[in-house]
Structure 1
Amino acid sequence: MRKLFSLFNVVAAALLVGAVLALQAVQRTPPTPTPPRPELTERQALKVKVYFTDTQVQRLRPETRTIQVAQQGPRALAQAAVDVWARGPYDKSFLGVVPAGSVPPKIYLRGQHFYVDLPEAYGALRYGTSGERMLLCTLTRTLLEDRGQDVTFLLNGQRVETLGHLDLREPFTRQDCTDL
């Protein structure tokens, strides 16, 4: 009997029991988590003025659109307006300034300053000076219609000096785009 309960046998038995319990714990399937309950947020319809260009790409043309937003913060409103801008105008006498199906830029807001992160594809549009200016001015006027002081443009998350032929080192203001 003495050899059955030796120190070595007791420690080995305890380790064996511990290993069996650990194996069972590891092989047990985890409980299925309960999915979060979707909370329906009330969307509000708001009117915004979105700018496009005329067919000769000479003048800015506003179009009043109704957007649905869940949040009324200035950044959320600006992003919703730019999403509508990227989809193009309803009025057939206006032109959208980006090709149909283009990804809308991302909008950031710091105080009264908008930052527009243009997708990389916008840098390869090859519009020429007037088309590039129209692209930037339609965005600037859309964003600064009711709020904001200026718009700084980024390309693919990076500060760039130019977009094609236009200088992007300084932010655009309403006054930069009033003569269109």
Structure 2
Amino acid sequence: MIALKKLFSLFNVMALLLLVAAAYAYQVVQKPQATPQPPKLEMAALHPVKVTVYYSDPQVQNMKAVARTVQVTEEDVGTMAQAVANAWAQGPNGAATGVLPVVPAGTPAPRVYVRGLHYYVDLPTAYTKLNYGTSGERMLLCTLTRTLLEKRGQDVTFLVDGASKESLGHLDLNDAFTRQDCQDQ
């Protein structure tokens, strides 16, 4: 009986309980965590918006306005500006006659940033390798300027690969372009 009393002493019982608790805690922390379920991605609904995009006439002398429909998720200024720049870079759709695209097919669209009434267009390096003359560069910059400033905005500043450049080749890019700078001759 004394041996049993020594076996079930308060110290031994507490030690046994601590050992059981430690074994349970060890088992709990060794369990692999449940894999979380990824959130279900929902595409924002696209809706069509009619816009005016400017392209060149076949003689590269005048700009021609073409009504286009672009798909956007929301109609904020930045989203709309990028959508019309993408449509401009893609060229006219098949229904448009008597107009030419301003950049060759497959040329990446420029990135457009908006700050207040000012647009900043970041042209990819591919635009510096187009080897357009002065009239071609003017058509490129002015059709994009007129397209962006069709509904709102004050001016468009052009960058090349995120940096200010003196020129695209022939035309000065130091000053922002306005609607008045790009009137047909």
TM-score normalised over the length of structure 1: 0.83
**Do structure 1's residue 45 and structure 2's residue 30 form an aligned pair?**
no
**Do structure 1's residue 115 and structure 2's residue 120 form an aligned pair?**
yes
Of the three residues 125, 129, 139, the one matched with 2:144 is: 139
SS at match of 2:65: strand
Measured after TM superposition, the shift of residue 28 of structure 1 is 6.3
Aligned to 1:151: 156
Q: Which has more radius of gyration?
A: 2
Question: Is contact 2:63–2:184 with CA below 8 Å preserved after alignment?
Answer: no
TM-score normalised over the length of structure 2: 0.80
Query: In the alignment, residue 109 of structure 1 is paired with which amino acid?
Result: V
**Do structure 1's residue 32 and structure 2's residue 35 form an aligned pair?**
yes
Determine which structure has the larger strand proportion and give its number: 1
Deviating beyond 6 angstroms after TM superposition, the runs of 4 or more aligned structure 1 residues are: none
Measured after TM superposition, the shift of residue 45 of structure 1 is 1.3
Structure 2 counterparts to residues 68-87 of structure 1, below 5 A: 68-87=71-90
In structure 2, runs of 5+ residues without a counterpart are 1-21
SS at match of 2:86: helix
**Do structure 1's residue 170 and structure 2's residue 175 form an aligned pair?**
yes
SS at match of 1:152: strand
In structure 1, runs of 5+ residues without a counterpart are 1-16
Query: In the alignment, residue 72 of structure 2 is paired with which amino acid?
Result: V
Q: Percent identity, aligned pairs only?
A: 54
Structure 2 counterparts to residues 56-71 of structure 1, below 5 A: 56-71=59-74
Residues 119 and 30 of structure 1, relative CA distance in 2, 3 Å threshold: farther
Residues 28 and 161 of structure 1, relative CA distance in 2, 3 Å threshold: farther
SS at match of 1:167: coil
Equivalent-residue separation in structure 1 for 2:106 and 2:77 (angstroms):
25
Aligned length: 161
